[in-house]
Amino acid sequence: MIGYIADMIHDSELDYLAETGAETAALTSNSVSVQLQAIRAAGGLGIVHDFAIPFAPGVRRVLRDEISLTRSFWLIRHADDRRSGRMNRLADAFAAGLRAEVQRLEALVSP
């Protein structure tokens, strides 16, 4: 398995190996990009965001019926931004655009 460095996991949502049934990862990095490149280089099995697969030639889904993980992405803003209509519109447009792009990319790898 390829995954995060267990001692450096700073968020419980990154501790997904327990959800897969794997106890540890033999090849680890706290960089998603490094993990993806290790998977592409046939270093082992790992968890990849569906929206990243179109950018990872040679990577294919396995165990798709056995394992399914859902995670959330958060846009963190300074509290003062709430008072700015311009910043609210920017944040709304950014979030809507990101959602649309993730949906577009995920559709490229849907069954």
Does residue 45 share a domain with residue 18? yes
Average pLDDT over residues 55-77: 87
Look at residue 72 in the predicted model and tell me its pLDDT: 82
Does residue 82 share a domain with residue 52? no
Does residue 29 share a domain with residue 77? no
Q: How many domains does the chain have?
A: 2
Look at residue 29 in the predicted model and tell me its pLDDT: 93
Residue 1: partners with Cβ closer than 8 Å, 6 or more residues away: 17, 20, 22, 24, 25, 26, 27, 44, 45, 46
Average pLDDT over residues 33-37: 94
The candidate with the shortest Cα–Cα distance to 91, out of 106, 103, 81, 100, is: 81
Q: The pTM is what? A: 0.73
